């Protein structure tokens, strides 16, 4: 996927003016997968590849493999945590604070992935709190938003996504270190992908909301990734959409 997006991103850069500013950004969310051996092989494969200067790639291994990945994965790859706690450390068994991530020298984290919202009960407000605290320590944050199949079918896609972003807007004033990842829940890991037109329509709607609710400047600069069964077969056509500024890739990032 990185290789195909690499070429697709370059094509978009030369042919259209993407609405988000900055490099086309691809995130690889390795989720709860891997062993020491398989992670080492994946890192070796990534290091052997070639990334153009116009493409930013951020890899998010499981917490227990962050140090291994950091020690072995070379530039220009960057590393992210998959999640952080809402504040500093303390009596929060099993949690990882942004302070710890920062102490490791890691500069990115993901917040609000739909699997954490659904499986761990993370509300819009909790995701916003995590995002704000991570930003306060200087981390860059990929904030995930997205709707369920039922919400898509009843026409509330943008209402759901904008409500998720509204919670962030209530506690964050500086959006310069945020990347938004739109991931329709019904497309994550299912093999079903939103059509390019559906993805573009939603991304454009998100940008329109940002312009009205936050500021036109934030809207024009914001990079909005698409996630949801992105793979080498569909990334080129998705990358050609005006408001798609990157991908957040799940299972395909392990291949």
- Catalytic center residues: 113, 183
Residue 34 has, within 13 A of its CA and on its CB side, a CA count of 26
What six digits make up the tokens of 39? 């992670």
d(C-alpha 190, C-alpha 198), whole Å: 17
Phi, psi (deg, nearest 5) at residue 237: -70, -35
Looking at residue 54, the DSSP 8-state letter turns out to be T
What six digits make up the tokens of 43? 């890192």
Residue 141 · residue 171 · CB < 8 Å:
no
d(C-alpha 9, C-alpha 246), whole Å: 8
88 to each of 102, 134, 190, 249, how far by Cα in Å? 11, 10, 35, 29
Query: In a 10 Å sphere around its CB, with 0-12 CB exposed, 13-18 middle and 19+ buried, how is residue 166 labelled?
Result: middle
Taking the alpha carbons at both ends of the chain, their separation in whole angstroms is: 8
Residue identified by tokens 């904008």 is 162
Looking at residue 176, the DSSP 8-state letter turns out to be T
What six digits make up the tokens of 221? 């600069």
């Amino acid at each position: 996927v990185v290789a195909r997006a690499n070429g697709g991103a370059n094509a978009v850069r030369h042919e259209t003016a993407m609405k988000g500013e900055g490099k086309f950004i691809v995130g690889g969310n390795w989720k709860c997968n891997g062993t020491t051996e398989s992670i080492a092989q994946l890192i070796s494969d990534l290091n052997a590849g070639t990334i153009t200067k116009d493409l930013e790639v951020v890899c998010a291994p499981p917490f227990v493999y962050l140090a291994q990945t950091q020690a072995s994965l070379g530039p220009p790859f960057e590393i992210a945590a998959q999640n952080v706690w809402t504040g500093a450390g303390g009596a929060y068994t099993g949690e990882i604070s942004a302070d710890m991530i920062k102490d490791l020298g890691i500069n990115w984290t993901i917040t609000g992935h739909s699997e954490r919202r659904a499986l761990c009960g993370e509300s819009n407000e909790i995701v916003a709190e995590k995002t704000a605290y991570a930003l306060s320590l200087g981390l860059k944050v990929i904030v995930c938003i997205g709707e369920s199949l039922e919400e898509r079918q009843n026409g509330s896609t943008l209402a759901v996504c904008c409500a998720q972003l509204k919670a962030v807007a209530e506690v964050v004033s500086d959006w310069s270190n945020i990347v938004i990842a739109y991931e329709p829940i019904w497309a994550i890991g299912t093999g079903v992908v939103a059509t390019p037109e559906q993805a573009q329509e939603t991304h454009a709607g998100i940008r329109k909301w940002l312009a009205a609710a936050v500021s036109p400047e934030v809207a024009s600069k914001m990079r909005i990734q698409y996630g949801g069964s992105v793979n080498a077969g569909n990334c080129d056509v998705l990358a050609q959409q005006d408001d798609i500024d990157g991908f957040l890739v799940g299972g395909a990032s392990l291949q």
